[in-house]
C-alpha cells in the first residue's frame, strides 16, 4: 500500500515529460502513473532515460487509441483509479502541465500525514501561469519553471483534488469519478490550510485564502503552443457542435497576465540536477 500516487495523462509530451515526472518525484509522490494517450512522438523513450531513482517510481500504461473525444480524460482517470484503488491511500490526478507547489517545500506525504481521518479529499487551487508573451516555446535545455514566470490574477477559482481512495463513493453512473478534477467522497473536502469547502464539478464554492499550497498550471507554453491548443479544442468542439464563444482560451487571451511570479524557483536546482542525470542516447 503506497501513501500517495499521482496519475498523469499525456500525449506527445516529449519536450516536457522528463521535467514533469522529475518534479513529481521531487515533491515526494510514491508512485507516478503515466497514461500515454495516442502518443506519436518519443515520449516513452524519454521516460526510459530518467535516472533510476526516478524511473523506479514510474508506471506507464497506454490509453486505447480510439479515445479521441473530449471525454477521454475522464475515462483515463477512471482507469487509473480502478487499477490503484486497493494499492494507494491518496491519489492525485494531474495533467502534464500541472505542477504541485508548497511554499515551505514540504513533501506531499508530510502534508498528508496530518489530515484527519474524516477528510475524503483535499483541494488544490490552480494558479495559472501563461506564455510570458513568448512567441516560441522554450528551447529544449530550458525548463518550464525557469522560462515561464508570468501568471494571471486569482480571478477564477478552479481546482483539482487529492483523493483518499477508501472514501470514494462508487456508483453505476460514474464509478466514483464524476468529474476529472474531483470525486464524490464520504468525507469532508478541505484545502491544505484546513478550510472546509464544497465542490460543484471542478469549481470551489469558496475562495482559498492563499495559494501557499496549490497546483501551478502552465496553461500555454508560448503563443505557438496557444495557437496549436486552440486549433485542437476548436476541432473537438466543432465535432460536438459546441461553441467556442466564451471558451477559456478566449478568456485567457483577453485577461491580463502581467504578474511576475518566481515561486517555482525553489524546485529549480534539484530539478536541473536530476535532468542532467538523464541517460541520453
Per-residue pLDDT of 16-33, as tens digits, reads 899 999 999 999 999 999
Residue among 34, 61, 264 at smallest CA distance from 149: 264
pTM, rounded to two decimals: 0.85
Report d(CA 35, CA 131) in Å as an integer. Answer: 25
3-state helix, strand, coil in the chain (%, to 5): 30, 25, 45
Q: Residue 281 falls within a domain, yes or no?
A: no
Q: Residue 71 falls within a domain, yes or no?
A: yes
Report d(CA 57, CA 30) in Å as an integer. Answer: 7
Q: What is the pLDDT of residues 163-211, one digit of tens each?
A: 999 998 887 555 556 566 788 888 999 989 888 887 765 556 666 667 8
- End-to-end CA distance of the chain: give it in Å, rounded: 35
Judged against a pLDDT cut of 60, whether residue 252 lies above it is answered with no
Place of cell 478541505: 190
List the CATH number of the domain containing 212. Answer: 3.90.550
The number of domains in the chain is: 1
Q: Residue 192 falls within a domain, yes or no?
A: yes
Judged against a pLDDT cut of 80, whether residue 114 lies above it is answered with yes
Q: Are 144 and 95 in contact (CB under 8 A)?
A: no
Q: Residue 70 falls within a domain, yes or no?
A: yes
Q: Residue 21 falls within a domain, yes or no?
A: yes
Domain extent at residue 260: 2-276
**Structure-block grid coordinates of residue 182:** 474531483
Residue among 150, 147, 138, 149 at smallest CA distance from 15: 138
Amino acid at each position: 500500500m503506497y501513501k500517495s500516487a499521482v496519475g498523469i495523462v499525456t500525449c506527445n509530451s516529449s519536450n516536457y515529460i522528463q521535467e514533469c515526472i522529475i518534479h513529481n518525484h521531487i515533491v515526494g509522490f510514491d508512485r507516478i502513473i503515466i497514461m500515454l494517450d495516442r502518443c506519436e512522438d518519443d515520449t516513452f523513450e524519454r521516460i526510459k532515460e530518467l535516472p533510476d531513482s526516478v524511473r523506479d517510481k514510474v508506471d506507464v500504461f497506454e490509453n486505447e487509441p480510439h479515445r479521441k473525444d473530449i471525454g477521454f480524460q475522464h475515462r483515463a482517470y477512471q482507469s487509473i483509479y480502478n487499477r490503484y484503488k486497493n494499492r494507494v491511500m491518496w491519489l492525485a490526478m494531474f495533467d502534464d502541465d500541472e505542477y504541485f507547489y508548497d511554499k515551505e517545500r514540504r513533501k506531499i506525504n508530510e502534508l498528508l500525514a496530518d489530515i484527519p481521518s474524516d477528510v475524503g479529499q483535499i483541494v488544490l487551487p490552480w494558479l495559472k501561469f501563461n506564455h510570458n508573451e513568448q512567441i516560441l516555446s522554450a528551447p529544449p535545455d530550458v525548463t518550464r519553471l525557469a522560462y515561464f514566470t508570468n501568471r494571471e490574477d486569482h480571478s477564477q477559482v478552479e481546482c483539482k483534488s487529492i483523493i483518499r481512495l477508501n472514501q470514494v463513493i462508487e456508483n453505476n453512473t460514474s464509478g466514483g469519478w464524476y468529474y476529472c478534477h474531483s470525486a464524490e467522497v464520504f468525507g469532508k473536502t478541505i484545502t491544505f490550510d484546513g478550510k472546509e469547502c464544497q465542490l460543484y464539478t471542478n469549481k470551489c464554492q469558496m475562495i482559498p485564502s492563499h495559494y501557499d499550497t496549490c497546483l501551478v498550471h502552465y496553461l500555454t507554453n508560448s503563443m505557438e503552443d496557444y495557437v496549436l491548443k486552440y486549433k485542437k479544442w476548436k476541432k473537438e468542439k466543432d465535432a460536438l457542435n459546441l461553441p467556442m464563444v466564451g471558451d477559456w482560451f478566449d478568456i485567457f487571451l483577453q485577461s491580463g497576465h502581467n504578474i511576475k511570479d518566481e515561486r517555482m524557483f525553489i524546485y529549480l536546482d534539484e530539478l536541473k540536477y536530476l535532468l542532467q542525470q538523464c541517460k541520453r542516447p
